[in-house]
Chain A
């Protein structure tokens, strides 16, 4: 091993990554949850997906700044339209990849 303590470092990283993944599954899946909390959890996927994807599409760099002319965003518009129209995951992934590859020829 090149790095001293490497095993301890990755073990530590693994532990602090695993616990947040594990705790809610074990504690919440066996409980009856209050209605407001069920409603909250039901809204989480839409919220997280939007919070994950939008910054990737319209911000860039370090430190981050807005950039509305990136191919990621421009390609996202027809990709989104295709997803809404067809509701096909496979089709959307393939169309998005093709458009991004195509856009790469111009940017």
Chain B
């Protein structure tokens, strides 16, 4: 009975997860092909490209690693750079952990592998919406991961199968982020925090090298948000409206 329930479940779960993943898959297809083409031109074999996509699975750090490797950088600077570029996932996993209660370490480990900017944004919205659970989130993560690996390897065979800029595909992820940001603005406090984070991110991105501005701006904005939420002034303003 129990196992029957499980098999019946998984068909629907995989369907939900894969269908839910399409905006990311579309975006990854475009970026993955571009990455593969660039890596191939830099002298990487499709196997090497696939290996990096499988083991690292983080787009911007992979682009950086290819250019560093081409420039003859050593293992230590490459690994340190990768670490700093990808540290932002820590914030995303922290936030997602509130939806992943009471799961075993194996399931959490399998899920953690697929946490990216895009899967974080989409899963957060879907968890918030209800109708979503860790199984669907896991399927979404791995569907997007497979798309990434396949696209980067395909690009590595020298195929720019989709001409650059075709059908606005380069804008798929930006449009997705815009919409998911709208979904996150669930009240005045969220709007204020998003505005602070956005302005800080732009300002810091002009001052700091790399992408440390993402973590810095988000942490500062969310912290200010908590203080604001707990302050009497905000409670009073909310009551008046």
Name A's B-contacting residues (CB within 8 A): 1-3, 5-14, 16-18, 20-30, 33, 36, 38-59, 64-66, 72, 75-76, 79-80, 83-84, 87-90, 92-93, 95-102, 104
Contacts and interface: CB of A to CB of B under 8 A. Distances in A.
Nearest to A85: B182
Contact of B182 (A38, A80, A102): A80
A50 B94 CA distance: 17
B95 A39 contact: no
B89 A2 contact: no
28 contacts: A2-B44, A3-B69, A12-B79, A13-B55, A13-B78, A14-B55, A17-B89, A20-B86, A25-B111, A25-B112, A27-B97, A30-B101, A40-B225, A41-B95, A43-B222, A44-B222, A45-B184, A46-B190, A47-B218, A49-B181, A52-B121, A79-B174, A92-B178, A93-B23, A93-B175, A93-B179, A96-B171, A96-B174
A23 B181 CA distance: 25
A16 B229 CA distance: 35
Residue among A22, A23, A36, A99 with the highest chain B CB neighbour number at 10 A: A22
Nearest to B111: A25
Contacts of A6: 48, 51
B184 A51 contact: no
A5 B65 CA distance: 14
A51 B115 CA distance: 17
Contacts of A27: 97
Interface in B52-104: 52, 55-58, 61, 65, 69, 75, 78-80, 82-83, 86-98, 100-103
Contacts of A45: 95, 120-121, 124-125, 184
Contact of A46 (B172, B193, B213): B193
A83 B223 CA distance: 27
A3 B83 CA distance: 21
A65 B207 CA distance: 10
Nearest to A20: B90
Residue among A14, A28, A50, A76 with the highest chain B CB neighbour number at 10 A: A50
Contacts of B180: 49, 89
Interface string B214-228: 100111011101100
